[in-house]
Chain A
Amino acid sequence: MTLVQALFYLMAFVALGSAVFVASTKNLVRSIFMFFITLMALAGLYVLALADFVAITQIVIYVGGILVLILFAFMLSGRENLNYISAIQNKFISIRKLPALLLAALFLIGLINVVVKMDTGNLEWVKISMEQKNDIQPTIEMTGNIGVNLMTHYLLPFEAVSILLMIALIGAAHLSRKEVAV
Chain B
Amino acid sequence: MKKYAFNEITTIQYISLINGMTVSFGFIEIPADLHKKAGTGGLISLLLGTLVTMAASLIVVQIMRRFPNGTILDMLTRRVGKWAGRLAAVVIAAYFLFYGYIGIVYSTRVIKARVLQETPAYITLFLLLIPTYVVARNGFRVLGRYAELSIWLSLWIPFVFLLVWRHTNWNYLFPLLERGWLPILKAVPDTFFYFLGFFATTLFYPFLQKKEKASFAILTANGLTMLSYLFITILSFIFFSPEEMKEVNQPSIYMLKTIELRFIEQVEGLFIVMYMLIFSMSWIPPFLLSSFCAAWLFGRADHRLFLRVLMIGIVLFSCFYVPGLNTTYALSDKLTKVGTVLEYALPVPLLLFFMLQARISRKRSRRRRL
The answer to whether A and B come from one shared complex is no
Name A's B-contacting residues (CB within 8 A). none
